[in-house]
Amino acid sequence: MRQSIKILFVTLNVIAAAAMLLGKLTTMVSPAHWLVFAYFGLFFPFILAVNFAFMLFWLFCRKWKALFISLVASFLCINNICNTFPIHLIKPSVNEEVTKLKVMTYNIDAFRQFSPSKKSTMDSLLNFVNRKNPDVVCFQEFYVYNKSGKTTEKNVLKGLRKYPYHFIHYSVSEETFGEGLAIFSKYPIDYKGICQFSKGYYMTIYADITVNSKTIRIFNHHMESYKFTMDERKHYEDLVGDFNSHLFRDVVLKFSSKMNEAYNVRAKQADIVAKTIAESPYPVVVCGDFNDVPVSYTYTKIKKDLLDTYATVGTGYGNTYSHKLFPFRIDYIMVDPSFRPISSRVAHVKYSDHYPVIAEVALP
């Protein structure tokens, strides 16, 4: 290999390795204080792929010293890599006599009532939930009409008869509709609580359930989103399909403005959520749409000592947002470290713009 070309490739490799390490920093530094690191976390899968390509390249060229550039960076970021691309090919063995809890979290996108088709997915979605038969279900973007229309709270409760206990809280409540969060349970709910981030739409609710004399606190979160409009998403799709410098500038300006604001707000919400979880007198199950990726301050702050069920026993990238141009894992089920995750998977069903996450854990 010519020396000038080698120097160029080594330089590019150092930049890629540095970008991966900057991604690691986003898990430690709040975007409210230092915003730029958050973007390295968002693009961590791409940065990791570039570093992996460099490792293969140096391996093929038999340049062992250069190989260590990305190898060392990968070692330092091993936790971030495992959270992003977990691989668990052998299912954990569990004693059949142990008590198990099966949980689902699902951002249902208002039952798709505002999608281009305007057709409610309520019946199909509730049938899916009943088939999967979790013990506890957490819904985000739970949107129902109060009196008229097919998608009413009464009809949802009717479709989920096997869940006699529920806690529904509407952060937005108008004369004709309500939208918020919902927890449905086969087990009695002993206590209910709300953690309102502000006067806005996003919030946390929780409910205490008793399973075999053990009290467990179930958290359901919906955290700040980027709030991209349909037109802005369309512009992004157009840009990907046919690059245009003017459109590129417009998309970057609009997206970065909204993303900067969302990162800042979400970091503060994560601090509140982490504090609320820490104050729980009982072991916890934390569900919800975090609107952030595994390599992020939000994820790390909330997770702390909890077990991310998908990262612990799942396999693959596991994106939970279904849009093909935004394939991110942003929905999670995390559990108390005394619980043992048995299985966790993302179900690729098209009843929402998100995919549900389903996890089963063994209780101590």
Query: Is the pLDDT reported for residue 149 higher than 80?
Result: no
What is the per-residue pLDDT across 10-53, written as a single tens digit (0 to 9) for each?
999 999 999 999 999 999 999 988 999 999 999 999 999 999 99
Quote the percentage of the chain above a pLDDT of 70: 96
Query: Is the pLDDT reported for residue 246 higher than 70?
Result: no
Domain boundaries, the chain: 3-84, 100-229+236-362
What is the per-residue pLDDT across 261-274, written as a single tens digit (0 to 9) for each?
999 999 999 999 99
**Binning pLDDT at 50, 70 and 90, where does residue 240 land?**
low
Q: Between 3.60.10.10, 2.160.10.10, 2.30.29.30, 3.40.50.720, what CATH number should domain 100-229+236-362 receive?
A: 3.60.10.10
Q: Sheet containing 177-185: give its strands across.
A: 165-173, 177-185, 136-145, 100-107, 357-362, 340-346
Return the higher-pLDDT residue of 240 and 82.
Answer: 82
The residues pairing with 136 across neighbouring beta strands, listed in sequence order, are 103, 185
Mean pLDDT of 350-355: 96
Mean pLDDT of 98-115: 94
| Window from 219-233, 237-251, 316-330 with minimum mean pLDDT | 237-251
What per-residue confidence (pLDDT) applies to 94?
Answer: 82
CA dist 344 and 341 (Å) reads 8
> Is the model's pTM score more than 0.85?
yes
Mean pLDDT of 52-81: 96
- CA 134, 338, 270, 191 dihedral sign is positive
Mean pLDDT of 133-161: 93
Mean pLDDT of 116-134: 91
CA dist 337 and 82 (Å) reads 17
Query: Is the pLDDT reported for residue 357 higher than 90?
Result: yes
Summary mean pLDDT of the chain: 93
**Binning pLDDT at 50, 70 and 90, where does residue 67 land?**
very high
Quote the percentage of the chain above a pLDDT of 90: 78
Query: Is the pLDDT reported for residue 1 higher than 80?
Result: no
Mean pLDDT of 244-258: 78
Query: Is the pLDDT reported for residue 319 higher than 90?
Result: yes
